[in-house]
Amino acid sequence: MTEALNTPFNAIVAEDVDGKPRAALKSISLNDLPDEEVLVEVAYSTLNYKDGLAVSGKGRICRSLPLICGIDLAGTVLESKNPAFTAGDKVLVNGYGLSEIHNGGYSQYQRLKAEWLVRAPAAFSLEHCMALGTAGYTAMLCVQAIQDHGIKPEDGPVLVTGAAGGVGSVAISLLSKLGYSVTAVTGRVADSSAFLRDLGASDIISRDEFIRDCKPLERETWAAAVDTVGDKLLATVLSQIKYEGLVAACGLAGGINLPSTVMPFILRGVTLRGIDSVMASQPRRQRAWDALAQLTDIAALEKIYRIEPMSKLPELAQQIIAGKIQGRVVIDVN
């Protein structure tokens, strides 16, 4: 089968151009793929914030060049040297250094380590797997951190920042499905209010208003929060968390700093829980994907994504880092 496939196919490859990474659509062959044990015919990948940084070259995401970009993928196993997988299996991969140190999902074929693969949940098509993608799986990890801390819907409202983005929008729909009252913080109140209410947000706060004049401790308001933004916004969130509440922090869309104080931690017992999707253990991944399969309403999911071709990635990368993408973008690699 491999011989039959030894014809050129498309991939988005980052290369060193005058000392800087530059990503472009290229024609490659199976010989350009790494010598890993499972060959996957990729159906879809997605656009995540980190992909925006990698494809635009604005962040040093690809640490060895040349490298195929795309931090996630969903597809069908064509060949496997590992007995855990056989031809025809539907699989997905999130993180594990794809697009950082390993070749990623913006390619019609990819070879991968068997230990990176998660079986696509039966409830989802490959398209739906990537409609959730790394953003959706990370949102689920955040929600599970809140649940594992023992925070229940009756404990109070949960705040979601970067609400109209990929992680934020999935987090809102999951939390609302679980019965939490959700407040969304967004920089795009006018454009995104209807979208956010549709996802299940009961209140919407403008980002500029939210971060104005943040004091070390403010009124205890939120039982928990999912923060995708960082910086001053995360500091403000921490100052408003209720006694023994938790913030699941996964992102840096607003910056890498955290201009906070110890006050929320030592006077209110607040927990700041870091969420990493890239190297999360297989049991943690499996638990998150199982929960996504149980909780996701496919009709609702279909309202929050659109499908785009790989050729549009350079343009889409600029848009996501400028905060201009609403919901999720699935990349059809074919």
Q: Name which of 44 and 49 has its Cβ closer to ligand NDP.
A: 49
What's the closest the beta carbon of residue 154 comes to ligand NDP, in angstroms?
Answer: 27
Does 134 sit near ligand NDP (CB under 6 A)? yes
- 141: its two tokens: 């990890």
What's the closest the beta carbon of residue 81 comes to ligand NDP, in angstroms?
Answer: 29
What's the closest the beta carbon of residue 88 comes to ligand NDP, in angstroms?
Answer: 29
* Count of CA atoms in the C-beta half-sphere (13 A) of 216: 8
How far apart are the C-alpha atoms of 142 and 225, rounded to whole Å?
Answer: 9
Does 162 sit near ligand NDP (CB under 6 A)? yes
Taking CB under 6 A as the binding criterion, the range among 11-19, 35-43, 103-111, 184-192 that sits at the site for ligand NDP is 184-192
How far apart are the C-alpha atoms of 234 and 15, rounded to whole Å?
Answer: 35
Q: Name which of 77 and 238 has its Cβ closer to ligand NDP.
A: 238
Q: Name which of 60 and 81 has its Cβ closer to ligand NDP.
A: 60
Written in H, E and C, the secondary structure of 142-170 is HHHHHHHCCCCHHHCCEEEECCCCHHHHH
Q: Which residue has the tokens 């069908």?
A: 76
How far apart are the C-alpha atoms of 28 and 30, rounded to whole Å?
Answer: 7
Binding mask 261-290 for ligand NDP (x = CB under 6 A): --------------xxxx------------
How far apart are the C-alpha atoms of 96 and 258, rounded to whole Å?
Answer: 26
Does 121 sit near ligand NDP (CB under 6 A)? no
Interface with ligand NDP in residues 38-57 (CB under 6 A): 48-50
What's the closest the beta carbon of residue 33 comes to ligand NDP, in angstroms?
Answer: 25
In order, the DSSP letters of 217-243 are S----EEEEEESS-HHHHHHHHHTEEE
Q: Name which of 120 and 250 has its Cβ closer to ligand NDP.
A: 250
Radius of gyration of the chain (CA): 20
Helices 49-56, 313-321: axis angle to 10 degrees equals: 120
Of 323, 330, 331, 333, the residue at the interface with ligand NDP (CB under 6 A) is: 323
Would you give the distance in Å from CA 197 to the centre of its chain? 21
Interface with ligand NDP in residues 285-314 (CB under 6 A): none
Does 173 sit near ligand NDP (CB under 6 A)? no
Taking CB under 6 A as the binding criterion, the range among 23-31, 34-42, 121-129, 250-258 that sits at the site for ligand NDP is 250-258
Per-residue buried b or exposed e for 14-39, using 16+ beta carbons within 10 Å of the residue's own CB: beeeeeebebeebebebebbeebbbb
Does 207 sit near ligand NDP (CB under 6 A)? yes
Q: How many positions of this chain bind ligand NDP (CB under 6 A)?
A: 32
Binding residues vs ligand NDP (CB under 6 A): 48-50, 134-135, 138, 162-168, 186-188, 192, 207, 228-229, 250-254, 275-278, 320, 323, 325
